[in-house]
Amino acid sequence: MKVLITLTDVEPAVRLNGMLERVGYQTALVSPIDDMRAAIRRESPDLVVLTGGLIDTANVQLVRDLLWDGVAAVGLADIVDPSLQERLRALGFVEVYAKPVDLDEVLTGIRRILDRRRLAIETGLIGESEAMREVLVKIEQMAPVSSTVLIEGESGTGKELVARALHRLSPRRSKPFIAVNIGALPETLLESELFGHEKGSFTGAAERRLGRFELANTGTLFLDEIGEAPKSTQVKLLRVLEQRELTRVGGANAIKVDVRVVAATNRPLREEVEEGSIRPDLYYRLNVLNIYLPPLRERREDIPLLVRAFVQEFSAQHERPFHGISADAMRILAEYPWPGNVRELRNLVESMVVLSPGREITAEDIPRPLREGGNARFLPVPVGAVLRGQEGTGGRELEFIVRSLVELKLQVEELRQRVDEGREARESRLGEGEVLPATRLPGVATALPSVGIEPREEAPPANVVTIAPGMRMSDIERAAIIAALRETRGNRRKAADQLGIGERTLYRKLKEYDIPES
């Protein structure tokens, strides 16, 4: 990796250059009278050290451009002022050291920054927050061994990226990496997919098939949504993890396998153990090493880095050059809670890159519901919207999704206007002697007391769930399931499809909420 050092302050610049060269880094010195941007283009450094003039307008803009290009900047400040150091960090400096500097401390800091950059490049995990630094350190510590790893974190936080990083940095890097989403496989086929089957072991088994464990032999197997595994499969998984051998479906011979298992779950697996859906012995066997991936709202300082990386990626992919993103737009993105985490941010950035009319993303390019934030009111929503977000989020995130979905386009004034128009039309027609049924707004089962609309006695249709203040998320979920079953006339497969969840999850919920299956 290469470091470029400015000669604004010659004495520390020359000494630091010598120290970096002695420990094996490539370096380059550039005079303040030289064209810094030309030097950066020529040298392509991974890090730039500015030895003076940190608050000069040209240098401030340079650091911002470096940040956009993914190049770290370190500054040596002439003034010992903690508040100035904090302001400089806010401008984009990764580290700022006050003069007279301890060059050994600067060298240690540069090493740490470059090591994190190397690891981020290798793993694809972007972030400078303390939480992400901890994740990257754990990946580096855990990669060389073969112990089982459990990755916990909300949907969209990048659990598969962590699993691939563990494999890429391990001695097994040249061997297979096999990923399987347990929640996406029907229960009837899950054991065949994982452990393989013999010819004729069941109807349709026309030939022997190797399972994912055998395909991943000597490599790494990533089991996503491990919490969705049925109890019968958990017993067999436990045997493979403990004995390092498996038996194909319909087979009699034990087959030895050498596989490192990395499992992932979008809710704490200990909660699944307490609820009885996961065997405690399997949990202890999976949770030998543990990595927790924080949601994006807990590491907001990483949002600008992620936005810049995604803008660059999609600008190149769609051949739409962008000069950057405005400060107002970045502020809005940094303040949004991101219930869908990095996946949601990535998808939004791609849409803005494709649809933005200018060469800079501005606040106007951000969808209005996201710009305006949330003061959501509880309204009835279709059952599919209630649970569709739950597979990847926890209860708090589901509540936010429900609030956001029902608020997106309906403003209070628009509702009042529609109600008033409906009343006027009804009264006009009634005056002509026509008898009309009670009117109601589409998709709204109860009125909003806050805007003075009287509630009606009319019962909501089967495909609408009424959400009232004070309802627990479990009550909303139960009502959504009952409504879906009512609408599909008890067809559990269709109800699961409508709710956006797996059949096994639906069966578990039926038992959990004591809902009759017929």
Give 34's DSSP letter.
Answer: S
Residue 435 reports pLDDT greater than 50: no
Give the pLDDT of residue 447: 37
Closest CA to 352 of 372, 370, 374: 370
205 close to 215: Cβ distance less than 8 angstroms: no
Residue 56 reports pLDDT greater than 50: yes
Query: Is there a domain that residue 518 lies in?
Result: no
207 close to 199: Cβ distance less than 8 angstroms: yes
Give the pLDDT of residue 466: 66
Asked which of 292, 315, 341 is the last residue of a domain, the reply is 292
Within 10 angstroms of residue 472's Cβ, the number of other Cβ atoms is 10
Query: Is there a domain that residue 151 lies in?
Result: yes
6 close to 75: Cβ distance less than 8 angstroms: no
Give the pLDDT of residue 415: 52
Amino acid at 408: L
Give the pLDDT of residue 162: 95
pLDDT, greater one: 252 or 158: 158
Residue 393 reports pLDDT greater than 60: no
Query: Is there a domain that residue 395 lies in?
Result: no
Name which of 170-174, 194-198, 395-399, 466-470 the model is least confident about.
395-399
Give the pLDDT of residue 218: 95
Give the pLDDT of residue 398: 45
Distance CA 186, CA 184 (A): 7
Query: Is there a domain that residue 97 lies in?
Result: yes
Give the pLDDT of residue 513: 81
**Both 136 and 280 in a single domain?**
yes
**Both 502 and 442 in a single domain?**
yes
Query: Is there a domain that residue 388 lies in?
Result: no
Amino acid at 77: A
**Both 311 and 257 in a single domain?**
no
pLDDT, greater one: 134 or 433: 134
Give me the CATH number covering residue 194. 3.40.50.300
Region 217-237: what's the mean pLDDT? 93
Give me the CATH number covering residue 453. 1.10.10.60
**Both 337 and 363 in a single domain?**
yes
Give the pLDDT of residue 47: 92
Give me the CATH number covering residue 368. 1.10.8.60
Q: Is the preceding peptide bond at 100 cis, omega within 30 degrees of 0? A: yes
**Both 81 and 102 in a single domain?**
yes
Reported as a single tens digit per residue, the pLDDT across 86-110 is 888 877 888 899 888 899 999 999 9
Distance CA 150, CA 517 (A): 34
Asked which of 267, 292, 317 is the last residue of a domain, the reply is 292
**Domain that includes residue 274, residue range:** 130-292
Query: Is there a domain that residue 321 lies in?
Result: yes
Reported as a single tens digit per residue, the pLDDT across 299-356 is 998 898 899 888 888 888 888 877 778 888 888 998 899 999 999 999 999 988 888 8
464 close to 489: Cβ distance less than 8 angstroms: no
CA atoms within 13 A on the CB side of 438: 10
**Both 119 and 136 in a single domain?**
no
Give the pLDDT of residue 64: 81
Terminal C-alpha separation, the chain: 65
**Both 426 and 324 in a single domain?**
no
Question: Kind of pairing, strands 47-50 and 2-6?
Answer: parallel
- Mean pLDDT of all residues in the chain? 80
Residue 357 reports pLDDT greater than 80: no
Asked which of 352, 372, 392 is the last residue of a domain, the reply is 372
Residue 295 reports pLDDT greater than 90: yes
Structurally, how many domains does the chain consist of? 4
Query: Is there a domain that residue 385 lies in?
Result: no
**Both 215 and 342 in a single domain?**
no
Give 437's DSSP letter.
Answer: P
Give the pLDDT of residue 468: 64
Reported as a single tens digit per residue, the pLDDT across 239-254 is 999 999 998 888 888 8
pLDDT band at 390 (very low <50, low <70, confident <90, very high): very low
Name which of 117-121, 433-437, 471-475 the model is least confident about.
433-437
Query: Is there a domain that residue 396 lies in?
Result: no
Give me the CATH number covering residue 16. 3.40.50.2300
* Chain CA centroid to CA 228, Å: 19
For 354-392, the DSSP string reads: HH-SSSEE-GGGS-HHHHH--------EEHHHHHTTGGG
**Both 119 and 244 in a single domain?**
no
**Both 431 and 475 in a single domain?**
yes
Give the pLDDT of residue 461: 53
Residue 450 reports pLDDT greater than 50: no
**Both 140 and 104 in a single domain?**
no
**Both 416 and 363 in a single domain?**
no
* Chain CA centroid to CA 103, Å: 38
